[in-house]
Amino acid sequence: MVSAPAQDTRFRLGEEQARALAEQYGTPLYVLDETHLRTRIRRYREAFQACYPDVDLAFASKANSTLAVLAIAAAEGCSIDVASEGELRAALAAGVPAGRCHLHGNNKQLEEIEFALDQGVGKIVVDHFGEIEALGEFHRERGGLGVTQLVLRLAPGVDPVTHEKISTGQADTKFGFNIADGSGERAALRLLELGLPLVGFHCHVGSQLLDPEAQRSGGELIARFALRMKSEHGFEARYLNVGGGLGVIYTDQDRPMPVEEYCRLVVKAVTRALEGSGLHPILGQEPGRALVAESGVTLYRVGVVKTVPAKEVGTRTYVAVDGGLSDNPRPAIYGSRYAIERVSSPATATTKDEVLVTVCGKHCETDRLFEASVPADIAPGDLVQVLTTGAYGSSMASTYNRYPRPATALVRPDGSFSLVQRRDTWDEMIARESVPEDL
Ligand SMILES: Cc1ncc(COP(=O)(O)O)c(C=O)c1O
């Protein structure tokens, strides 16, 4: 058995809080702790600033674009990484100035680019040659891109040790420009030829990185690229962003590197490569999950506990919660595992023994969420919390099976609760639809 990580940094609800939240807002319910989130962001920022003088910590809003989260991230000094017009609109609605947003996307629509330029987005991270030509066109038509700066997304050719669906920096990727085959250099030269405001380079090698070697070498490779662009073409990068990706504790088996160590490692990789070059770029990172995942839990109520015959293992116990695939698709997409804890001990609880069960949801397919240890007397009616769901939960939720997406409650620093995202209503589930009159 693996013991819990030495420093278990995950937020979890106490029994009283959990009961009160369930009573007030129902389940399933996403719960975020404001103090935990602010502390995580501050710790990351301080760690980054401690090893480099000029940093840009961006929050990758794909992880959680609830307006309250965006407002907190911005108040804690983050810029906001947005991956679509929708995420940019959410940041603006949360009061984040457009100039503090970076727009990503491997297939941005012209309308998205136009909207971002109209708003005065701070940076556009350029992903392919067609986008360069489109930006050139906007530049000609508008007499410049206004305040917007351009950053070139590079694929450094690094294979991280993580799930293939969250690996993004290898050579065989849909994202960015390959360094090794010369595309990155050609793209940079084309931007400069068109007179576009290129300021630097970006890479994101992957997510949930528990072995930071990939991130280290990604940082080193884009720094070396910047160096070459200076020595061979006289282009001086003023901005380098090494992406996000630091892992978090989903289960007791996960042991992410402390953020202080991680920042030191990444910064060292970049500064070593730039030594003596005269380049002193602003250094950016854009973590998502490392800032918000551990600050959130999902509160569910157990509906069914069922033990059935199972091949090889003899029997399997299913514990069905009142949510599942629609509020957390990560187990289905990535095979992600989570920790689940019972938060309400019924008066009938008789044992502290744990059993391994299959936690499942209430959707039509066999949505086995993950295997986990739970108290042996877990029973219908128990409240449970799934930890580390502050990232890629609400932002990936769907209304599959016409289940309303859960609400999000924010636990404020004074212990009170704020409903920052309400549950979908039945009316809005069908509001987009109509039935032709002859049907
Ligand atoms: C370009 C980019 N930046 C940042 C992130 C955030 O990753 P994470 O939440 O693992 O930090 C992602 C994740 O997909 C990404 O693609």
**What would the pLDDT profile of 100-138 be if each residue is shown by its tens digit?**
999 999 999 999 999 999 999 999 999 999 999 999 999
Contacts of 435 (CB under 8 A, 6+ apart): none
pLDDT of residue 172: 77
Q: What is the pLDDT of residues 15-39, one digit of tens each?
A: 999 999 999 999 999 999 999 999 9
pLDDT of residue 84: 98
Task: Write down the pLDDT at residue 167.
Answer: 54
Q: What is the pLDDT of residue 1?
A: 42
Residues of the chain falling short of pLDDT 50: 1-2
Give the Cα separation of 286 and 191 in Å (integer). 24
Query: Cβ(168) to ligand 1 under 6 A?
Result: yes
SS (H, E, C) 279-298: CCCEEEECCCHHHHHHHEEE
Taking the model in full, what pTM does it have?
0.94
- For the chain, the 3-state helix, strand and coil shares in percent, each to the nearest 5, are 35, 25, 45
Q: Looking at 322-438, which runs of residues are DSSP E strands? A: 340-342, 354-360, 368-375, 383-387, 407-411, 417-421
Q: What is the DSSP string of 328-345?
A: --HHHHH-----EEE---
Q: Which of 51, 203, 360, 364 is catalytic?
A: 364
Percent above pLDDT 70 for the chain: 94
- If one counts every other C-beta atom within 10 angstroms of the C-beta of residue 133, the result is 11
Atom number, ligand 1, closest to the C-alpha of residue 247: 10
Residue to mutate (ligand 1; options 152, 204, 242, 292; most atoms within 8 A of CB): 204
CB 161 within 8 A of CB 210: yes
Q: Is the CB of 207 under 6 A from ligand 1?
A: yes
Q: What is the pLDDT of residue 2?
A: 46
pLDDT tens digits along 155-185: 988 765 555 555 555 667 888 999 999 999 9
245 lines ligand 1 (CB under 6 A): yes
Share of the chain above pLDDT 90, in %: 83
Does residue 364 have an active-site annotation?
yes
Atom of ligand 1 nearest to the CA of 166: 14
Q: What separation in Å is there between the alpha carbon of 60 and the centre of ligand 1?
A: 6
Atom index in ligand 1 nearest the CA of residue 244 equals 11
- Report the nearest-CA residue for atom 1 of ligand 1: 204
Q: List the residue whose alpha carbon is closest to atom 13 of ligand 1.
A: 207
pLDDT, position 134: 98
Tell me the best of 48, 61, 62 to mutate to test the pocket of ligand 1, counting ligand atoms within 8 Å of each CB and taking the most.
62
Q: Is 204 in the pocket of ligand 1 (CB under 6 A)?
A: yes
For residue 311, the model assigns a pLDDT of 87
Residue 283's pLDDT is 98
